[in-house]
Amino acid sequence: MDQLVPTDRYSPYWFFSAERWAEFRADTPLTLTAEEVARLSSLYDPIDLDEVGRIYLSLSRLLSAHVEASQLLFRQRQAFFSADDVVKTPFIIGMAGSVAVGKSTTARVLKELLARWPSSPKVDLITTDGFLYPNEVLRRENLMERKGFPDSYDVGALLRFLSAIKSGQPNVRAPLYSHLTYDVTPGEFITIDRPDILIFEGINVLQPRELPKDGKFVPFVSDFFDFSIYIDAEEALIHSWYIKRFMKLRETAFRDPQSFFHRYAALSEDAARSIAEGLWTNINLKNLRENILPTRPRADLILRKGDNHRVVEVALRKL
């Protein structure tokens, strides 16, 4: 039995084709321009205005309903406890999926759409990259080949950050990560100050932890989420997208002498492709199979992509 197959009668999900899903947009306005969408798009993740209209406006409308329901429940709890001083905490959206599947573009587009709701909510976006251990630590612990695996993150710092956000604390800092140097930037932070909505994006954000045998409370990162999204695609497609992205970066960002991957810029095309295939097989594919893909059934909504990064199916968890 596979509950992520539409024909499974016991599945906890509703399944929609992209065309059917697009109908749920209703009267949700398109507030982005083609130029803005192009600016938000990642390398080799060619989203366009049509895709925003097909997929993301309906998603924006759905999330609006969830946020409104959360706010209503908060007001009802205030009345229940007769506590007017209780602070409303941010609505947190978790976003997971493989390397090169297009999480960053989805997160950025969604952030812009949510911020343009009529209520003008404050929307922030954080990635888990800053919570990776610094390369110095990873090297010392022989974890550089497992960068991006669950054990390469400072989970304690992750949980403290999310706990502070969900407690309504002001000016919560998260470490800053540089994709140029491929490392956490020492002494630099991004500050999150009580947003209405926080998008929290990372490959392993739906990853559970081993449960203690004594029954003590052990929080998962996903315990802090109000809604979770998994960006999905066939393994062969993700593989192709990863290799194309690597080869394109070899001609662009890798040419910067400060780039961690600068040494790959001077390689021949065949040698560079061989390096990319090795990184995919030994690190990213392994992480996908062992850690990322197994978390897919924990998501509230799954966006399944086909060729050209276009979503072909949406799976939404039943209430």
Domain boundaries, the chain: 13-303
What integer pLDDT is reported at residue 285 of this predicted model? 98
Q: Is the pLDDT of residue 1 over 60?
A: no
Q: Pairing mode, if any, of strands 183-192 and 172-178?
A: antiparallel
Count Cβ atoms within 10 A of the Cβ of residue 232 and give its class: 0-12 exposed, 13-18 middle, 19 or more buried: buried
pLDDT digits (tens, 9 = 90+) for 205-214: 999 877 778 8
Q: Which two tokens stand for residue 284?
A: 């990213």
Q: Are 102 and 207 in contact (CB under 8 A)?
A: no
- Work out the mean pLDDT of the chain and round it to a whole number: 93
CA R_g for the chain: 20
- Report the alpha-carbon distance of residue 103 to residue 229 in Å, rounded: 10
Treating both helix axes as pointing N-terminal to C-terminal, what angle do 57-81 and 103-115 enclose, rounded to 10 degrees? 60
Q: Are 238 and 101 in contact (CB under 8 A)?
A: yes
Q: What is the mean pLDDT of residues 233-261?
A: 93
Q: Of the candidates 207, 187, 182, 130, which has an alpha carbon nearest to the alpha carbon of residue 161? A: 130
What integer pLDDT is reported at residue 88 of this predicted model? 82
Q: Which residue has the higher pLDDT, 148 or 251?
A: 148
Q: Pairing mode, if any, of strands 123-127 and 197-201?
A: parallel
Q: Which residue has the higher pLDDT, 299 or 217?
A: 299
Place of tokens 């009668």: 9
Count Cβ neighbours within 10 Å for each residue of 179-218 and write b for 16 or more, e otherwise: eeeebbeeeeeeebebbbbbbbbbbbbbbeeeeeeeeeee
What is the second-level CATH architecture of the domain 13-303? 3-Layer(aba) Sandwich (3.40)
2 confidence band (pLDDT: 50, 70, 90): low
Q: Is the pLDDT of residue 5 over 80?
A: no
Q: For the ranges 7-21, 55-69, 236-250, which has the lowest average pLDDT?
A: 7-21
Q: What is the mean pLDDT of residues 217-224?
A: 90
- Report the alpha-carbon distance of residue 154 to residue 152 in Å, rounded: 7
Q: For the ranges 5-14, 82-91, 184-193, 268-277, which has the lowest average pLDDT?
A: 5-14
